[in-house]
Structure 1
Amino acid sequence: MQRYTLTAIVLHWLLALLVVAAFTLGLVMTDIPGFTPSKLRFYSWHKWLGVTILALAAARLLWRLAHKPPAYPAGMPRWQQNAASALHGLLYALLFAVPVSGYFYTLAAGVPVVYLGLFELPVLIAPDPDLKAVLKQVHYWLTMTLAACVGAHLAAALKHQFIDRDGVLKRMLP
């Protein structure tokens, strides 16, 4: 059985962990009423996670382009292969779109992004309340789409593990 490279496996699971953490933190921070130090701290952490996810997604995409993934199992129906390829493509796109939309939403709100409290990212757009409202919705719906795609990806992996028993999941396990 062919497996993914160790680099691909590490990037996959690290991104998975960070995406779950950013999503969870996003839900928690938006439910905190008012303007509190905890809420501000959570927003900073959420932004730091987003920047880290964007950087790791770029590294993962570059690695994927340079290293062919293992072939699908021989008995896997063509429609499932096509669905898997489409879902992977959508996941990659969303791993870029969600952090970028959050970054521009933050800039439209007039708030700089200071990565880890050390490095200010470039301010590419001026504050704009109208654009802020649009980007807030864009970021939310892209995030919900990413969550749904992650759920579908997880369900497919579990189906391959426990129903098909075809070794697909084992290719990505450390």
Structure 2
Amino acid sequence: MIQGDNWAEARALLGKWLLSAEAQAPRSVQFSHARRKPRDLLVSVIECNEDLCGCSDGCRLRGKTKMDQRDKLSGMTVGLHWLLAFGMIGMLVFGLVLEDMPKGDSKAALMWWHKGLGVAVLAFALWRLGWRMTQGFPAALSHAPAWQEKIAGLTHWFLLLGTLFMPISGLLMSLSRNRAVDVLGLFTIPPFGEIEVLHEVAEAVHGLGGKLLIAAIILHVVGAVKHEAVDKDGTMARMAGRRVEPRIEA
């Protein structure tokens, strides 16, 4: 049985070896660990050392890393992507339904849910923004013309920011009309008072932003279909949490 002192010494030696191996590893390998501290690197390689040991598909520890890699996205990235995707699409449909409803108790009740769920979406959107700022956007799995990459990049950023400005502008519409927002009965956001200019700006952003966001979602879906049907590069499989084989180097 390994004693405490021996275990500490073994960990220290392993840590030195890992840092040395990381420094000598190819650039594509270093990329996945670029933002990790030595302690995080140690934990990651103990869980799955495929990058440094060169293990094949038979590695029994494969797939347990928690950071995004080119061939496999983390559970956090996949989960937040689909949560916000279904959340925002649902809220946009919800908003279109409310827009056509006449004023009354039924609309007021649905509006209560719309506002509360909007705050929940905003919370997850902020979480996803922080995660994306630390991870960056997933790298492409296949080559594409520069103009397509530019459009894809702009679309990704617009979708990311759209999950923020839509719920924020919706909140401001109520708060600037001196209406508090009850968040699903959990807490209440107090109003600002009557600020007509802020209300008009928020209303314009919410209305136009919703239409632009729908267009961006359609464009994003078209791009996903292209990856699946034309490029056949495994982008959809990767976004489903599976490991894929990239066609281009990091």
| Seq. identity, % | 34
Tell me which of 115, 122, 127 is aligned to 1:54.
122
Partner residue in 2 for 1:66: 134
Tell me which of 215, 225, 228 is aligned to 1:158.
225
Residue 74 of structure 1: how far off its partner (Å): 3.9
Deviates most, 9-18 or 58-67 = 58-67
Give structure 2 stretches of 5+ with no counterpart.
1-69, 242-250
Residue 129 of structure 1: how far off its partner (Å): 4.3
Q: Is the 8 A contact 1:109 1:128 kept in 2?
A: yes
Partner residue in 2 for 1:136: 203
RMSD: 1.8
Q: Which has the higher helix share?
A: 1
Which SS does the other structure have where 1:120 is aligned? strand
- Which of structures 1 and 2 has the larger relative contact order (alpha carbons within 8 angstroms, sep 6+)? 1
Note if 1:29 corresponds to 2:70.
Answer: no
For 1:107 and 1:7, how far apart are their aligned partners in 2? 32
For 1:107 and 1:70, how far apart are their aligned partners in 2? 36
Which SS does the other structure have where 1:76 is aligned? coil
Cα distance, 1:62–1:131 mapped onto 2, change above 3 Å: closer
Q: How many correspondences in the alignment? A: 172
With normalisation by structure 2, the TM-score equals 0.64
Q: Residue type matched to 2:154 in 1?
A: A
Give structure 1 stretches of 5+ with no counterpart.
none
Note if 1:111 corresponds to 2:179.
Answer: yes
Residue 68 of structure 1: how far off its partner (Å): 4.1
Q: Residue type matched to 1:112 in 2?
A: A
Residue 131 of structure 1: how far off its partner (Å): 4.1
Partner residue in 2 for 1:98: 166
Q: Is the 8 A contact 2:115 2:181 kept in 1?
A: yes
With normalisation by structure 1, the TM-score equals 0.89
For 1:149 and 1:77, how far apart are their aligned partners in 2? 19
Which SS does the other structure have where 1:110 is aligned? coil
Note if 1:2 corresponds to 2:71.
Answer: yes
Q: Is the 8 A contact 2:142 2:233 kept in 1?
A: no
Note if 1:14 corresponds to 2:83.
Answer: yes
Q: Is the 8 A contact 1:4 1:69 kept in 2?
A: no
